[in-house]
Structure 1
Amino acid sequence: MGWFDRLERNAYDFGVRSSERIPSSKVAIIAIDDESIANIGRWPWPRDIHAQMHRILKRGGAKIIGQTSFFIEPQIDPGMRYIQDILQFYGNSQLQKINIKANPKLNTDIETLGEKLLTAELDLNTDQKLADSLAEAGNVVLAMHMGIGSARGRPDSKLPKYVTRNKLSRVKNNPAINPNNNAPLTASNVFYPIELLGSQADSIGALAAYPDTDGSIRSEPLVVDYYDEIYPSLALQLALRSLNLSAKDVTINLGNNVELGRLQIKTSPNLLMNTFFYSDTSGVNAFSVDSFYDVLQGKIPASKYKGKIVLIGSTAVGVGDTMVTPINANMAPVLTLAHSVSSILNEDFFIEPEWNLPAIAGIMLFISLYIIFLLPRLKAGVAASITVLLFIALFVTHYILMTDYGLWLQLVGPSILLVVGHLLLTTKRFLSTEKGKLALDAESAESNRMLGLSLQGQGQLDAAFDKFRRLPKSAEALELLYNLALDFERKRQFNKAGSVYQVMKDINPKFRDIKQRINRASAMEETVILGGSSSSNSSLLLGGNGVEKPMLGRYEVDKELGKGAMGSVYLGKDPKISRIVAIKTMALSQEFEEDELQDVKARFFREAETAGRLSHPSIVTIYDAGEEHDLAYIAMEFLKGSDMAQYGKADKLLPITRVLDIIRRCAEALDYAHKANVVHRDIKPANIMYELKTDTLKITDFGIARITDSSKTKTGMVLGTPSYMSPEQLAGKKVDGKSDLFSLGVMMFQFMTGRLPFQGDSMASLMYKIANTPHPKPESIRAELPRCVSVVINRALTKDPAKRYQSGAQMAADLRKCLQIITQKKPS
């Protein structure tokens, strides 16, 4: 059996199982089941037991009785042979010749002995008892086995008259409906009941199983041809008798159908009926099935079978063969017979319509045209959708025709054509584009390589890793990944370096020293993180363990220069142009909560950009800003010297003229920044870098400045160092350049006197004095200070911003005049 036929049969079985019909209530089954075997005895039983059942059913008013057991040989009881031998001896012996008058009593005993022997013979003759029951019932149909096969030659002997009286004689062969001259299935052998029983039976029907190529029973041969004599099947014979018809009422139209009076049964060309198999309901058999033993014992009244077709047959395990059907893989022959009889009486059989072949041919043509002309022009998604819809349409059509109309249209062939055609066309498309795809993959690999190298050069290592891992597994890819992992190590991103090494290990676990690299990356990942360690400080761990120099962005980090409140300052180098830079880092993630971190980062980069726009001799130059792991950083001009915090102490005060010149330069630098709408907000000695030898000054740390655009400036938070803050800054008001000039005045006061103008025991006290208490007169602390110094300081430290210097240029001009006054007063 081919796979195509198997699929067609499976589709048919699905349709049968999905169909629902009500079985004929006229059919009942008395089963020779396991219970009956256990109580009556092993099979085969004495035939007088069957005789008892026939008499019970006759009394109950059964319409017709169908016996599926074969009675093809006489059943002789072992004891009966002895009785027959004794009877023969008795008949031939001298006992019959004894003088009766001489001994009358002896004669009586001899006659009694003969009667008893005859009685014993009758009691042991079960065939005779069964024959008597058949004659009494008058409605029992017996089965004869007919083996389907090609009949050759002539039969060994003619069938007896009690068999041939069942043959069907009304046979028609109309060339218009049977152009191929199809005939019924032929039988090569037949086993019929013994004459004693067959001659007493109502009729005899053929049991001729005809399984499909997969061994399943789906159809019933209604008639069988035995050497040009056509005999009805047992199912057809039972249906005939239940309709009060005889063989004379059957018309066989070869190649088309069988007529039972007015009932027409549509068949296959070989007169096979496609049986409807009724599904069980909730585990209950479709037909009434009772135990032979229960009926025999009277547990089930015989009246139950009044007017019914009663089928007697075996369902016990090991008694007879079972059959595979669409609804049951282990069905007893008597149950199969019940489905066939009910199909005939209810006209529930499946029909292959006469237009079956033209319809299939039309569907095949339509699908072929679709595959050849339409499918190649459709996009893959649309083509798949249409193919699926067509397949569903075929399936639904098959389902509806079988379940609603009992029509079997063989649509598996068109369905296979549709699916296979679609797959072949799709495969052709795939193969035709595969060569181009390979070339495209090679081009894509080169693009990924070049793009990855470009991203790596720009410091975008994660994006470079994404490109490199898409490359084909090769030695070149390993080299690229290895160099990328080294870059991750330089950035102290050991977890990412480990991920790269793992990808390389999957390609070639023996490549270079990746085993040691993986172990070291795993160990370093536990202890070192870019921008900090397992402790809370934010320093960058440098050197050690043979690890490459760390990097922040594109900058190599050399050493730490110092620490601030929110980060550290490192000496670094831009390897592309060999520029030495100072790198200020801020561990923002450690200083701010998660919900405000993004805003803080945005402000940091915005302020760095603002400071980067400033270009002035007294303002440190900003080169770059970025973020690396959890660190934000600013790369700026590296300055020699130190901040001016030390020059605010009383024992390290600079000369007055030097201080005036320093403050002047700061005022001029602030004036430049203010004109660019930048407010420093944190002017203090620590943010003024100064080299005494070269008298070089730079204002640094514009990192917390903000653009003072009037349309965007809002009241801000208190940022900066409280001792140098202006009153308005402490009050949280929006500030402008005059606030920086106040802070510059505080710093000038400190550089001139060696102490701060405002001091307090607490932060609240200090802030109160800055906002409300006048500063001490500078000359009261340092008597030799020129009056012009005090004038500048007093105006810079005015509480009211409107009375303060309005610009850095004004303050620088007064400082320049003060310098001139002091210089002129010096003796020549």
Structure 2
Amino acid sequence: MRSAWLAFEYYGEFYPSMAVMLAVRDLNLTMKDVELDPAGRVRIGAIEIPTDRAFRMQPAFFADISGETFAMYSAADVLDGKVPPAALKDKLVLVGPTATGVGARFATPLNVQTPGVELLAHETASILDENWYLRPGWAPWVTALLIVLVGLYLAWLLPRLGAALGVTLSAVLLVALLAGGLVMLIGMHLWVELATPALLVLAGHVLLSTKRLLVTEEEKETISKESAETNKMLGLSFQSQGMLDLAFEKFRKVPLDDDMMEILYNLALDYERKRQFSKAANVYEYMARHDPNYKDIQTRMERAKTAGETMIFGASLSGGTAGTLLLTDGARPTLGRYEIIKEIGRGAMGTVYLGRDPKINREVAIKTLALSQEFDENELAEVKERFFREAETAGRLTHPNIVTIYDAGEEHDLAYIAMEYLEGTDLTPFTKPDKLLPKVAVLKIVGKVAEALDYAHSQGVVHRDIKPANIMLLKKNRTVKVTDFGIARITTSSKTKTGVVLG
């Protein structure tokens, strides 16, 4: 809203503006007919103009539909008689420069480059037509109150609203303020500054929405980091418990970076230890998406793919001549929690390995039963049930002359029993005529075996396969150990091989 001074103070004296002087002349009045009211009014004859205490009014600006304001004629055309006298008769004529670049220019609601003489015409016409805008005394209070209310809305109500409802309510407030200001300005010629509260609504909503968005994104990032850390910890927990598939599932939800590459590399090694080479290859392929040159994953990936197709683990004498294959330059394979060190024997139904329990660093003998290779599909369930039932029965026996059973389980395609590792030899070599033991030694051995069998019978366990091959004589202290309790019963109904040790 543009203001126009109607009077100027100069050394204690007030002088009328050009617009006032023109209006006085047009109304055939004198300057004595002009009164200045310090309360904020200027009277020109019968015309009373509301102003502020500095005698400023808010003039109206006039234009037709095409945007034309006042009739303008070139001074040269007037002097040359090209403008008919009737066009200027009984008119208030103002003379001044209007050409671009000549004279002062002012910004008005109609034009940002309004010539000074045209601005004077608008001010004069506003006085003569008694057409001006009024800024009531209560307008600043209304503006201040609306600013306070908008501030409360932005500070208290908007943060508690949802995004959609907040946008709707802010839009309604913005439209109401702008529309209310326009209605009062155009329809009532009242100037109440509602643009400031409206701008505050718009700017406040944008700022709060931006802050909410940034906070939301920050929370999402925090949640994402926390989720990634949680998945990483869960994956490590699953991995430590041997649940490698669940571990890999959790690790895939963590962003792939250098730290995760090391974790995934160890996971792939665990898959190799458990002879799940195809899954190890899958982990290496997943790692290659981030860094195909990380350590030796390319070599390991190719080797794991090949091993997945050719690896034979736990083969038996009946399974052909293929032996146990271990990945070169790789970690040792495992069965359950036991690391496989080397093959130490082979029987009719599986292979015997020297293993190590990493938790207590104890060497164990591990007998394996390759179920998928040794049994038909319809026999598999029965064989597994008997295998674990007999292993549990033998595991109840605790006697100094009976081999100790530590653990039994099933992993991948193998059933296994972990037992006491006996470093010695069975009695088979001593059955040859040239290697017979002294009678005293034989009697001691028979006595120890009898004590072991008596104890087993007291526990409801019958060996059923006592023979020199199942009696071990230890090198260290010549202790006698009875082996293969109950295991032979599995092969009795399934695959009988007389005189051959199962496992």
Aligned to 2:355: 572
**Which amino acid is the alignment partner of residue 464 of structure 1?**
A
Deviation at 1:448, TM superposition (A): 2.4
Alignment of 1:185-204 (within 5 A): none
Distance 1:570 1:722 in 2: 22
Deviation at 1:627, TM superposition (A): 2.4
Identify the match of residue 456 of structure 1 among 195, 215, 239: 239
How many residue pairs get aligned? The number is: 290
Identify the match of residue 438 of structure 2 among 635, 640, 655: 655
Distance 1:577 1:684 in 2: 33
Deviation by residue 1:46-76 (Cα, 9 ceiling, x = unmatched):
xxxxxxxxxxxxxxxxxxxxxxxxxxxxxxx
Aligned to 1:676: 459
Identify the match of residue 341 of structure 2 among 548, 553, 558: 558
Distance 2:234 2:457 in 1: 43
Aligned to 1:508: 291
Aligned to 1:700: 483
Distance 2:460 2:287 in 1: 52
Alignment of 1:429-468 (within 5 A): 439-468=222-251
Instruction: Among all aligned residue pairs of Structure 1 and Structure 2, give the percentage whose two residues are the same amino acid.
Output: 59
Any stretches of 5+ residues in structure 2 without a counterpart?
A: 1-160, 166-211
Distance 1:609 1:503 in 2: 41
Deviation at 1:437, TM superposition (A): 5.7
SS of equivalent residue, structure 2 residue 342? strand
1:540 equivalent in alignment to 2:324: yes
Deviation by residue 1:305-359 (Cα, 9 ceiling, x = unmatched):
xxxxxxxxxxxxxxxxxxxxxxxxxxxxxxxxxxxxxxxxxxxxxxxxxxxxxxx
Deviation at 1:689, TM superposition (A): 0.9
Distance 1:473 1:618 in 2: 55
Deviation by residue 1:146-182 (Cα, 9 ceiling, x = unmatched):
xxxxxxxxxxxxxxxxxxxxxxxxxxxxxxxxxxxxx
* Conserved? CA contact 1:682–1:720, under 8 Å: no
Residues 594 and 433 of structure 1: is their aligned pair in 2 closer, same or farther, counting only changes over 3 Å? farther
Which stretch has the larger CA shift, 498-507 or 621-630? 621-630
Residues 436 and 559 of structure 1: is their aligned pair in 2 closer, same or farther, counting only changes over 3 Å? same
Deviation by residue 1:347-374 (Cα, 9 ceiling, x = unmatched):
xxxxxxxxxxxxxxxxxxxxxxxxx99x
Any stretches of 5+ residues in structure 1 without a counterpart?
A: 1-371, 377-428, 708-715, 725-828
**Which amino acid is the alignment partner of residue 460 of structure 1?**
M
Deviation at 1:697, TM superposition (A): 0.7
Aligned to 2:3: none
Aligned to 2:262: 479
Aligned to 2:416: 633
Aligned to 1:591: 374
Distance 2:345 2:330 in 1: 23
* Conserved? CA contact 2:464–2:486, under 8 Å: no
**Which amino acid is the alignment partner of residue 677 of structure 1?**
G
Distance 1:469 1:682 in 2: 52
Distance 2:345 2:498 in 1: 22
* Conserved? CA contact 2:315–2:351, under 8 Å: no
SS of equivalent residue, structure 1 residue 571? strand
* Conserved? CA contact 1:681–1:704, under 8 Å: no
SS of equivalent residue, structure 1 residue 679? coil
Distance 1:723 1:487 in 2: 38
**Which amino acid is the alignment partner of residue 395 of structure 2?**
G
SS of equivalent residue, structure 2 residue 417? strand
Alignment of 1:778-817 (within 5 A): none
Deviation at 1:650, TM superposition (A): 3.2
Alignment of 1:36-435 (within 5 A): none
Aligned to 1:389: none
Residues 653 and 430 of structure 1: is their aligned pair in 2 closer, same or farther, counting only changes over 3 Å? farther
SS of equivalent residue, structure 2 residue 428? helix
* Conserved? CA contact 2:239–2:247, under 8 Å: yes
Residues 532 and 717 of structure 1: is their aligned pair in 2 closer, same or farther, counting only changes over 3 Å? closer
* Conserved? CA contact 2:312–2:323, under 8 Å: no
**Which amino acid is the alignment partner of residue 288 of structure 2?**
K
* Conserved? CA contact 1:587–1:630, under 8 Å: yes
Distance 1:602 1:681 in 2: 19
Residues 538 and 683 of structure 1: is their aligned pair in 2 closer, same or farther, counting only changes over 3 Å? farther
**Which amino acid is the alignment partner of residue 428 of structure 2?**
A
Aligned to 1:499: 282
Distance 1:537 1:623 in 2: 30
Distance 1:488 1:693 in 2: 37
Distance 1:717 1:530 in 2: 24
**Which amino acid is the alignment partner of residue 523 of structure 1?**
T
Distance 2:479 2:430 in 1: 15
Aligned to 2:192: none
Residues 517 and 616 of structure 1: is their aligned pair in 2 closer, same or farther, counting only changes over 3 Å? same
Deviation by residue 1:212-241 (Cα, 9 ceiling, x = unmatched):
xxxxxxxxxxxxxxxxxxxxxxxxxxxxxx
SS of equivalent residue, structure 2 residue 289? helix
1:609 equivalent in alignment to 2:395: no
Residues 536 and 468 of structure 1: is their aligned pair in 2 closer, same or farther, counting only changes over 3 Å? farther
Deviation at 1:680, TM superposition (A): 2.2
What's the TM-score, normalizing by structure 2?
0.51
Deviation at 1:703, TM superposition (A): 4.9
**Which amino acid is the alignment partner of residue 612 of structure 1?**
G
What's the TM-score, normalizing by structure 1?
0.32
Residues 720 and 693 of structure 1: is their aligned pair in 2 closer, same or farther, counting only changes over 3 Å? farther
Deviation at 1:482, TM superposition (A): 0.7
Residues 443 and 613 of structure 1: is their aligned pair in 2 closer, same or farther, counting only changes over 3 Å? farther
Deviation at 1:438, TM superposition (A): 5.0
Distance 1:547 1:723 in 2: 37
Distance 1:673 1:431 in 2: 74
Larger relative CO (CA 8 A, sep 6+): 1 or 2?
1
**Which amino acid is the alignment partner of residue 273 of structure 2?**
R
* Conserved? CA contact 1:678–1:705, under 8 Å: no
Distance 2:326 2:494 in 1: 35
Aligned to 1:729: none
SS of equivalent residue, structure 2 residue 372? helix
Deviation at 1:606, TM superposition (A): 2.5
* Conserved? CA contact 1:560–1:568, under 8 Å: yes
Distance 1:509 1:718 in 2: 49
Distance 2:414 2:260 in 1: 31
Distance 1:478 1:436 in 2: 26
**Which amino acid is the alignment partner of residue 263 of structure 2?**
L
Residues 537 and 470 of structure 1: is their aligned pair in 2 closer, same or farther, counting only changes over 3 Å? farther
